Amino acid sequence: MAIDGAGKTVATLKPKEKFDFFHDERVRSVAYQILTACVVGWLAWYLISNTAHNLQVRGMNTGFGFLSATAGFDTDFKLIEYKPGVGTYGRIFLIGCLNTLLVSFFAIIFSTVLGFAVGVLRLSSNWLVARLALAYVEIVRNTPLLLQIIFWYVGVFALLPRVKNSLDLSAGAEVAFLNNRGLYTAWPVPDDLFWMTIVAFLAAVVGVFVLRRWAHKRQDETGKQFPIWSASIALLIVLPYLVYLASGSTLNWDVPTLQGFNFAGGAALPPAFLALLVALVSYHAAHLAEAVRAGILSVEKGQTEAALAIGLRPKKAISLIIIPQAMRAIVPPMISLWMNVVKNSSLAIAIGYSDVVALFMQTALNQAGYAVEMVGMTMAFYMFISLSISGVLNIYNKRVQLEER
Amino acid sequence: MSMVKHEKTAPRDAPLSETTFIGWLQKNLFSSWINTILTIISIYIIYSVSKSLLIWGVLDAVWVAENRRECFAISKHGACWAGVLIWFDNIFYGRFPRDQIWRVNLGGLLLVLWMAPLWLPRVKDKIFIGLSTVFLYPFLAGYLFAGGDKGIFMQVMTTGAIVCLIGNTVHSILGMTSGRSLPEYLIAVLGKEKASDGNQRNTLLAILAVAYVVVYALQMGWTVMAVPWSKWGGMHLTLVISGIGITSALPGGIILALGRRSRLPVIRVLSVSFIEIFRSVPLITVLFMATTMFPLFMPEGFVLNKLVQVIIAVCLFSACYMAETVRAGLQAIPKGQYEAAHTIGLGYWGMMAFVVMPQALKHMIPNIVGSFIGLLKDTTLVSIIGLFDLLGMLRAISQDIPWRGLHHEPLIFGAALFFVICFAMSKYSRHLEVKLSAGEKH
């Protein structure tokens, strides 16, 4: 309703638009959606019915019952107890997932550290160092990862000395050995009272958080600074060590010793694991280095100048002004790189490291059949990991989003 | 007393660090003691790596030998390039019949001929040339590579491709020399500049039809020997798989990206889940899915060969990655462009085809080249499921009895090959990026 000049209300003119069924946007959008749903639904039904028919014709079993059936093959590398003929396919799946997670975990940590280092070297004022870092990044990024993995495996780790002439990595202390069967290191064996030390360590971690909050609060109120870093490190080391001494517990080391043709005792990592780890680390570090470089360059020069102008020393300017802003640009590509590490660890299959794809999707599938279930489970595992990592990324993005005025 | 200075002050000399070599060294390599240490370490690394590579790979290397043992006999600690050289044809062409290799080369040559006009100045209608590369070249190349009996469909398509190739080439030569396009030239030759548009168009169509019929008649007598897909391999197979992957990824990616940005919930949800599922799993699982589950999906008795399975998997996978590239390109287009397109009365498809996509695609070219590099590298995974692509062939050398155990040389050769291709492409895409963004700044 509108009011005209004389104060009378007059009915607003209704648009004289005819409802045209074939040219109405709403009708069309509903029609498009129904059409799409029908096509996709038909396709899904077609594939499923074909699959069901084929499974029946070939006499293949279906269902997830196989997970509790015993598997007859062994794996060379496992983190949990498993015996062929006793362990189940469900356990095989678990071993595969854990192996994938183990190599991805270490690869993520090492490649992040190396990537940051190389990224900073790329920006070094030293011409030669910057060029060297550039050469590393370009060579690694422009050759296929699979080729690199195979090269590290057959070209480096398979050519290490035999067990008898193992390289001693601990320089004579004889606690870590490298040979063509892998890496053997001493492994701590905690005794009954060791839990007290772990509790003390956890308490120290909590203490560090409390200390940091207190120090921040004090600095806000009084302006006095507190040496947080040295205090935290001292707390983290001293407290567990004191408890360790006080509780009288002892930490034994299980040292690998040469017995017959191989080492016994300690922890052992197969060469395939090492080759995969090295290849994943060097490949993703090169990618991360580019992201780090771009992130640091994305902070405007004015920010540094402003920080110096208000009297911050260069070190403080870097840690308080540049790094926090650069991280905003670095973290999203970094997390998607972590996702790539997990996905690319599936290339383990080429060199025989028993990750989830090699163990479950290939060996177990060849042994037991159940193609649909096994492929589905493996993909679901990767989807779960990817979705959790991207969930973390979303939370981070929300927290650091630039609040523009 | 005047304070005006009459003689001109001589400009100060540039600082030594800018003019002399020693100064440059001081500024860039030895500016502080940390930098000095880093420089020395770097020099040591470069020296030791290049020295051992030079000695191993060039000075002590064996270039001609019958087998690995002979290599060892000639030089114990040098590279044995003889194995790589003897396998050279295998690395590039796989097990393609040796007397038919010209077909692979011709296919590559035709692709260069077809796409070269895209980089030449003064050639018009580059979009048409680009589209014809995507839609017609694969049929011609496909027949060249596979050979055998041509069905009616293949005859029609290869004829179209040949006519188009001839037209393209003549068109670009004309464009280079006179700046005119082929249709303009034909009209001028026939003296029909004054004729009506309809008349001109009919004339051109008639010429096209005559050319088509002539080529069709000629190609009927042309057949080449059939080469089964299992004989394909090496670099050729790698390029075929990644080439098909990237060309089909583009339309697929555009559709998925539009679906993802659609306002219609059903379409959006379907696109998002399709994209996210394929992006969250590794390519190798998709390839395994293709080889183990596609046979189950197909109706009974319908068998896809392994190459087709792999190509379908690669296409699905790369389309999902391309969708994200396209989405990023679409997001970079300002909202005003969409609104302007609506204002002048374009509908959704008109808006996308004539206003948004051309701009977005231009921005995306560097990223598309980047995806192609990624796909080319990822294609090596097909060697895991038993196809003899470039990496598969390189690995096969070490299984060959005379060359058993020859691992380093083939892998390094392959790495160098990939490096040259990928590095050149990434440099080119960076150059494009600079060139394209330079047009933006006024």
**pLDDT tens-place string over residues B135-192:** 889 888 988 888 888 888 888 888 999 999 999 888 888 888 887 888 888 888 887 7
B286 shares a domain with B306: yes
Residues of chain A with pLDDT under 70: 1-19, 172-173, 249-251, 401-405
Could you say which of A51, A138, A383 has the minimum Cβ distance to residue B277? A383
Query: Does B240 or A7 have the greater pLDDT score?
Result: B240
Query: How does pLDDT run across B415-432, given as a tens digit for each residue?
Result: 999 999 999 999 988 888
Q: Is residue B83 part of a domain?
A: no
Answer yes or no: is B426 within a domain.
yes
> Does B312 lie in the same domain as B196?
no
Same domain as B297, residue B177: no
Residues A293, A116 contacting (CB under 8 angstroms): no
What is the pLDDT at residue A180? Answer: 80
Query: Please, which pLDDT band fits residue B439 given cuts at 50, 70 and 90?
Result: low
Are A360 and B288 a contacting pair, CB within 8 Å?
Answer: no
Residues A293 and A366 in one domain: yes
Residues A236 and A318 in one domain: no
**Residue A217, in any domain of the structure:** yes
Helices first, then strands: H and E counts in chain A = 13, 10
Minimal Cα distance from A124: which residue of B?
B35
Indicate if A359 and A280 belong to the same structural domain.
yes
Q: Identify whether A130 is part of a domain.
A: yes
pTM for the model: 0.86
Q: Clarify whether residues A319 and A371 are in a common domain.
A: yes
Residue B437 has pLDDT above 80, yes or no: no
Say yes or no for a CB contact (<8 Å) between A151 and B411: yes
Q: How far is CA B95 from the centre of its chain?
A: 23
Give me the pLDDT at residue A2, please.
47
Tell me the DSSP string of A231-272.
HHHHHHHHHHHHHHHHHT--EEEE--EEETTEEESSEEE-HH
Q: Are residues B252 and B322 in contact, defined by beta-carbon separation less than 8 angstroms?
A: yes
Q: Nearest residue of B to residue A382 by CA position?
A: B281
Alpha-carbon gap: B419 to the closest alpha carbon of chain A (Å): 5
Provide, as residue numbers in chain B, all residues whose Cβ is less than 8 Å from the Cβ of A366: none
Determine the Cα–Cα distance for residues A405 and A398; give it in Å rounded to an integer.
16
- Mean pLDDT score of chain B: 87
Nearest to A143 among B267, B282, B419 (CB): B419
Domain stops at, among B197, B226, B255: B226
Q: How many CB atoms lie within 10 A of CB B238?
A: 29
8 A C-beta contact, residue B83 and residue B406: yes
pLDDT mean over B185-210: 85
> Where in the sequence is the domain holding A203, given as residue range(s)?
192-249
Whether the per-residue pLDDT at B442 is higher than 70: the answer is no
Asked whether residue A63 is domain-assigned, the answer is no
Tokens of B242: 């990644």
**Interval B76-101 mean pLDDT:** 88
* CATH code of A139's domain: 1.10.3720.10
**Angle in degrees, 0-180, between the axes of helices B306-331 and B234-260, rounded to the nearest 10:** 40
Measured CA to CA, the distance from residue B429 to residue B432 in angstroms comes to 5
pLDDT band, very low/low/confident/very high, at B1 (cuts 50, 70, 90): low
- The answer to whether residue B192 sits within a structural domain is yes
Residues forming beta bridges with residue A184, ordered by sequence position: A177, A268
Q: How confident is the model at residue B253 (pLDDT cuts 50, 70, 90)?
A: very high
Residue of B nearest to A341 (CA): B282
Contacts of B363 (CB under 8 A, 6+ apart): B329, B332, B436
Residues B50 and B150 in one domain: no
- Evaluate whether A66 touches A48 at the Cβ level (below 8 Å): no
A362 assigned to some structural domain: yes
If one counts every other C-beta atom within 10 angstroms of the C-beta of residue A350, the result is 23
Instruction: Transcribe B360-395 into DSSP letters.
Output: HHHHHHHHHHHHHHHHHHHGGGGGTTT--BHHHHHH
Of B283, B289, B426, the CB nearest to A375: B289
| Domains contained in chain A, number | 2
More confident residue, B271 or A403: B271
pLDDT tens digits for range A210-264: 988 888 888 888 878 778 788 888 888 888 888 877 777 666 777 777 777 777 7
Distance CA B113, CA B137 (A): 11
Claim to verify: residue A237 and residue A278 sit in the same structural domain: no
The string of pLDDT tens digits covering residues B387-410 is 898 999 998 988 888 888 888 899
Are B418 and A144 within 8 A, CB to CB?
A: yes
| Cross-chain Cβ contact B285/A37 below 8 Å | no
pLDDT of residue A13: 59
Residue A108 pLDDT: 95
Tell me the shortest Cα–Cα distance from A197 to chain B, in angstroms: 40
Question: Cβ(B168)–Cβ(B132) under 8 Å?
Answer: yes
Indicate whether A221 and A354 sit together in one domain: no
How long, in residues, is chain A?
A: 405
Partner-chain contact B282 A371, CB within 8 Å? no
Which domain range does residue B380 map to?
Answer: 88-96+231-399+407-442
Option in B292, B380, B408 nearest A371 (CB): B292
B341-352: average pLDDT: 89
How confident is the model over B323-339, as pLDDT tens digits?
A: 998 988 888 888 899 89
The CATH number of residue B257's host domain is 1.10.3720.10
Residues B434 and B350 in one domain: yes
B306-331 helix and B265-280 helix, angle to the nearest 10 degrees: 120
Q: What percent of chain B has a predicted confidence (pLDDT) above 70?
A: 98
Residues B190 and B244 in one domain: no
- β A251-254/A187-190 pair status: antiparallel
CB A325 within 8 A of CB A295: no
Give the ipTM.
0.87
* Model pLDDT, residue B27: 78
> Phi, psi at residue A218, to the nearest 5°?
-65, -40
Residue B2: which pLDDT band, with cuts at 50, 70 and 90? Answer: low
